Structure 1
């Protein structure tokens, strides 16, 4: 049997001044694969990977999301196992600030598993531009051609159906197409494409007491699995403790498979 521990983690303009904290989070969680978002300092990521005993690969962002952001927010994957294939998909270049980062990893004694790391936009586009839905449509265009076990994971900046802030006042300053997309349709599109939300699958009756974004009782960070990998799903957890409170403004999510 091979145990595979998969983490997704928005590291908040990482590593910044939190290299020690981020290293400790990985050390305590012991993931085999980490999908990282908001990697601003690539040299710092190299140090984080070295300290963690993992191989890093980078998916460079398409463009900065905002002129006020301190640096481009790249994607990265850290892994303890060999990489067999890597593709950076630009996605919808007029809607997406970051690509879809596809990495196939070879666990011991198993076939390669695909990981599609992404960080969907937080900023709204022009009214009626539907840029949020265009992102998820670009994702589906990529993964619908994929055979074999794989995960879609990262920061979706969207809520699962039935979760999140459903108050009429939420986002009243935002374009209506942005508000609507965040409140379920983005995640619903992925579920309707045949993927399973690993945290919800293993915690079916749980409310979301704190979610994956600090200060907001809702999830925006997800690990989805296709049917080939779902059969091996064991558990999924959101890691909230004093350390993860300091390390980022998001809590890491870890999903465990036993193959």
Structure 2
């Protein structure tokens, strides 16, 4: 049996002045696969990967969401990388691509990891940019065969989570506000994917937020039916170190294959 530790982490315009903290988070959590969002400094990411003894690959952004930060996505791996594809998808709606990376763990067929960072900013009213993002991703995933995970910062809540008050997002376009409050994640669940943290924590006793200072879970590790059957544990890494390292907490799922 092979244990694979998979983590997703929005690193807040990484590494910035937090290289030491981010390296320590990786050292303490020991992921085998790490999906990174908000990678602004590629040289810094190379240093972080070297410090972590992991192989880095980068999916360059389609366009910056906020100047001058490019906010690329990346994957770091302790295992060999077989193949990677950058899917720009709907470039009018999406600041970042869907980054597809196939990784070869020991004694198993390759596993696909699709990392993403959905937009935080609303588009023009009626543009439906948020739902266009998830629709474009699901079109990519329809073509995929083999075990895989979909992970990253979705900037959206699972159904029934987040701020459900009638006044939340009153200043936002209705299409953006409505999409954030369940339909994005629901479309992924309807596509046959499993929210691995929720599977492992059906009735959590602790705060479920992945955004620092807010009980708002927007970072997910979804698994197809094959990978979901291997998921044994999942947790949100909250401690004094992750409080300092980013404005998001990392999410870790442990698979036993």
TM-score normalised according to structure 1 size: 0.98
Q: Which residue does the alignment assign to 2:135?
A: 137
Q: Which runs of 4+ in 1 moved over 3 A?
A: none
How far 1:187 sits from its partner (Å)?
A: 0.2
Once the two structures are superposed, the pairs formed by residues 84-103 of structure 1 within 5 Å of their partners are: 84-103=82-101
2:202 to 204, 212, 229: 204
Q: Which residue does the alignment assign to 2:42?
A: 42
2:75 to 50, 64, 77: 77
Q: Which stretch shifts more, 201-210 or 100-109?
A: 201-210
2:215 is the counterpart of 1:217: yes
2:151 to 150, 153, 174: 153
Distance 2:57 2:180 in 1: 29
Q: Which residue does the alignment assign to 1:240?
A: 238
SS at match of 2:37: strand
* Mapped contact 1:35–1:78 kept (Cα < 8 A): yes
Q: Which segments of 5 or more consecutive residues in structure 2 lack a partner in the other structure? A: none
TM-score normalised according to structure 2 size: 0.99
Q: Which segments of 5 or more consecutive residues in structure 1 lack a partner in the other structure? A: none
* Mapped contact 1:59–1:74 kept (Cα < 8 A): yes
User: Residues 101 and 114 (structure 1 numbering): CA distance in 2 closer, same or farther, change over 3 Å?
Assistant: same
Number of matched pairs:
257
How far 1:237 sits from its partner (Å)?
A: 0.4
Q: Which residue does the alignment assign to 1:167?
A: 165
Aligned CA RMSD, in angstroms, stands at 0.8
**Partner deviation per Cα, 1:148-196 (whole Å, 9 max, x = no partner):** 1000000000000000001111111100000000000000000000000
Q: Which residue does the alignment assign to 2:193?
A: 195
* Mapped contact 1:104–1:113 kept (Cα < 8 A): yes
SS at match of 2:215: coil
**Partner deviation per Cα, 1:13-61 (whole Å, 9 max, x = no partner):** 0000000000000000000000000000000000000000000000000
SS at match of 2:157: coil
